[in-house]
Amino acid sequence: MFFLRPTHLLTALAFLNCFLCLPSCAVASETLAIKAGRLINTENGTVDRERVIIVQNGTFTSIGGKETALPKNCRVIDLSDKTVLPGLIDCHTHLTDETSLDPIIELQKTAAQKAFESIPYARRTVEAGFTTVRDVGTYRALVDLALRDAIARGDVVGPRVFAAGCYVTITGGGGALTGFAPDIKIPFDLQFGKADGPWQVRERIRELAHRGVDCIKIIATGAVLTHGSNPGAQEFTLEEMQAAVEEAKKFGLKVAAHAHGTQGIKDAIKAGVASIEHGTRLDDECIALMKEKGTYLVADIYDDEYIQGEGKKRGMPRDFLEHDANLGQIQRDNFAKAVKAKVKIAFGTDAGVFPHGTNAKQFAWQVRYGQTPMEAIQSATLWAADLLGRQAELGSITPGKKADLIAVSGDPLADVSILEKVQFVMKDGKVIKP
- Average pLDDT on 356-380 reads 98
Evaluate if residue 313 carries a pLDDT over 80. Answer: no
Check if the beta carbon of residue 123 is closer than 8 Å to that of residue 78. no
Evaluate if residue 137 carries a pLDDT over 90. Answer: yes
* pLDDT bucket at 151, cuts 50 / 70 / 90: very high
| Segment 166-186, tens digit of pLDDT | 999 999 888 888 777 888 888
Check if the beta carbon of residue 208 is closer than 8 Å to that of residue 216. yes
Evaluate if residue 2 carries a pLDDT over 80. Answer: no
CA–CA gap between residue 394 and residue 381 (Å, rounded):
7
Pairing of strands 32-41, 75-86: parallel
User: In the CATH hierarchy, which top-level class contains the domain 88-388?
Assistant: alpha beta
Closest CA to 408 of 33, 44, 38: 38
- Average pLDDT on 82-107 reads 88
Closest CA to 175 of 184, 183, 186, 166: 166
Q: Which is more confidently placed, 279 or 109? A: 279
pLDDT of residue 101: 63
Check if the beta carbon of residue 176 is closer than 8 Å to that of residue 169. yes
CATH number of 23-87+397-433: 2.30.40.10
CA–CA gap between residue 261 and residue 220 (Å, rounded):
9
108, 120, 418, 38 alpha-carbon torsion, rounded to 10°:
150
pLDDT of residue 100: 66
pLDDT of residue 380: 98
* pLDDT bucket at 108, cuts 50 / 70 / 90: confident
pLDDT of residue 10: 39
CA–CA gap between residue 272 and residue 276 (Å, rounded):
10
* pLDDT bucket at 5, cuts 50 / 70 / 90: very low
| CB contact set of 368 (below 8 Å; sequence gap of 6+) | none
Evaluate if residue 23 carries a pLDDT over 60. Answer: no
pLDDT of residue 1: 35
pLDDT of residue 146: 97
Supply the pTM of this predicted model.
0.91
58-72, 258-272, 330-344, 376-390: the lowest-pLDDT one: 58-72
Sketch the domain layout of the chain as residue ranges.
23-87+397-433, 88-388
| Greatest extent of the chain over all pairs of C-alpha atoms, in Å | 80
